[in-house]
Structure 1
């Protein structure tokens, strides 16, 4: 294996929708552009102007929070700062279907001619983005060239699976993702949707009657996808650390886990799934 180098030749950028824990961002030198959260007339940067705790306090307020891509100026600033040290930049972002982040990052890159920026569409959300950014940074620290890192990302991207269990349709209804009638019927029947995010598409793959059953189902889907192969796994949650830790213990018993991250998913998912959401993101080695 190539040894890590003190001075990588490729810089890595992502957005806060990647759900990467701060300690990993710092350890691997990953620059993060914050997603913006709109609450009424307020425009707030995730993790900068608005903490996760404050976000959850305001999620049930009279004004429904929404999320939006960062403006081009945020990317331009990040790229120009990095270009002072290295020309090659890989910018890994939330899936382009449903978010303008990739498009805005590409637009911003045109304004930074001193850098060679490649905007990489993860086709995923949360740690589906985070795993790619993390692997890109690890490769950069091992001295890999930009084209080799991109090839590695393509390989991993094809092997990423992402599932989520949602305890209520209340927030999907408030955000306009499902109709009021469907949400009311689902609430009456105590239906919990099970989602899969793959190739930039979010699909309802099952509907079950209890949240524990929904968690069991996403673990079943993950096992069907990877079998006994060694996997890198993330259990992500929306203000539900106890449920996430309990679920992580189940995952370790069922899957061949090489590495595991348990962390907060953040507002991009929580604004739609609401508190209590638990997701499982993994890829095989």
Structure 2
């Protein structure tokens, strides 16, 4: 436990590598998936690869974490000696997880809980928790952290290349994404998060290579021209292609830029389907001046 007694909480859609969760003692709430044969906990009782195997036959219903799970995690934090909780969750435009934790945190007298809507997903959330953990290690106070988090969220951008809009349409998570006609022409959409937290279509490419070239161009155009930032690459069941995307991006980044490598969780995998590739970044704020 850190001297500031600040616990870090997120959900399974943050896609933080397990070794980093252990290193920084990040608590993770699993979202739930309901198939015809029962309920599964994202990342705990079912894996994303297992979800992809099932998707052609059945698209599960997804649900926010159970209230009991939130209570149990709060109890674990209290038992460990934490007094404050910084919680950052999947975009409220896609899930009610943020509001659940916010409301339950207000009722938890033993902890001071501050919950934030990431207005993002995957490592767009995870980067915030990783940076927050490092700031706490460096002596960042609770007050400084609460001022830094909105800056981190505002300085975050993620882009995803998906094979098809089929799963987003069927799952009702499509937001303002326009239908992309021409599946026979292999049109691949590039999506990101709108300021409202919904997913929107920002570009498209004819064929996988053209779409990935567009994704990398959007990433480079959006990256800050000065200052430090963390980068991230994520894949949906295609780790070799994810590694290749990371290797292609690395030469375009400033020397010393860290790239966090992750895999899409079960819940987001259900929304977008298999074979996703994504890249994003988050600006590192100077919390010492806050």
TM-based fold match above 0.5: yes
Distance in 1 (CA, whole Å) between partners of 2:203 and 2:257 is 28
Q: Which residue of 1 aligns with 2:265?
A: 266
1:22-48 alpha-carbon deviations (Å, 9 max, x no partner): 000000011111111111252211111
Are the structure 2 counterparts of residues 51 and 282 from structure 1 closer, same or farther at C-alpha, using a change threshold of 3 Å?
Answer: same
Distance of 2:198 and 2:47 partners within structure 1: 28
Contact 2:102/2:115 (8 A) holds in 1: yes
Measured after TM superposition, the shift of residue 6 of structure 1 is 5.1
Alignment of 1:125-204 (within 5 A): 125-177=121-173, 185-199=181-195, 200-204=197-201
**Distance in 2 between residues matched to 1:202 and 1:177, nearest whole Å:** 8
Counterpart selection for 1:68 from 63, 71, 90: 63
Measure, in 2, the Cα distance between the counterparts of 1:28 and 1:129. Answer: 15
1:227-242 matched pairs, under 5 angstroms: 228-229=225-226, 230-242=228-240
TM-superposed CA distance for 1:278, in Å, is: 0.4
Tell me the secondary structure at the aligned position of residue 193 of structure 1.
Answer: strand
User: Deviations for 1:245-269, whole angstroms, at most 9, x for unmatched residues?
Assistant: 1111111122326101222111222
Partner in structure 1 of residue 279 of structure 2: 280
Separation (CA, whole Å) in 1 of partners of 2:149 and 2:281: 14
Map 1:18-37; keep pairs closer than 5 Å.
18-37=14-33
Q: TM-score, normalised by structure 2?
A: 0.89
The 3-state SS of whatever aligns with 2:85 is strand
Please state whether the residue corresponding to 1:258 is helix, strand or coil: coil
Alignment of 1:4-43 (within 5 A): 7-40=3-36, 42-43=38-39
Return the alpha-carbon distance in structure 2 between the equivalents of residues 37 and 281 of structure 1. 26
Q: Which residue of 1 aligns with 2:217?
A: 220
Tell me by how many angstroms 1:189 deviates: 3.2
Q: CA deviation at 1:81?
A: 1.7
Residue of structure 2 in register with 1:246 after alignment: 244
**Native 8 Å contact 2:17 2:261 kept in 1:** no
| Pick aligned residue for 2:40 from 6, 28, 44 | 44
Name which structure has the greater RCO, CA cutoff 8 Å, separation 6+.
Answer: 2
- Give the equivalent residue in structure 2 for 1:99: 95
Residue 210 of structure 1 corresponds to: 207
Q: TM-score, normalised by structure 1?
A: 0.90
Query: Matched residue of 2:249: which SS?
Result: helix
1:132 Cα deviation from its structure 2 partner: 0.8
Structure 2: give runs of 5+ residues left out of the alignment. Answer: 285-290
Alignment pair present for 1:82 and 2:77 = yes
Aligned length, in residue pairs = 278
| TM-superposed deviation, 1:83 | 2.1
Residues 225-248 of structure 1, C-alpha deviation per residue, up to 9 Å, x if partnerless?
Answer: 125434311110100111111111
- 1:38 & 1:137 partners in 2: Cα distance? 32
What CA distance in whole angstroms lies between the structure 2 residues aligned with 1:147 and 1:41? 46
Does the CA contact (< 8 Å) of 1:76 and 1:109 recur in 2?
no
SS of the equivalent of 2:100 reads: helix
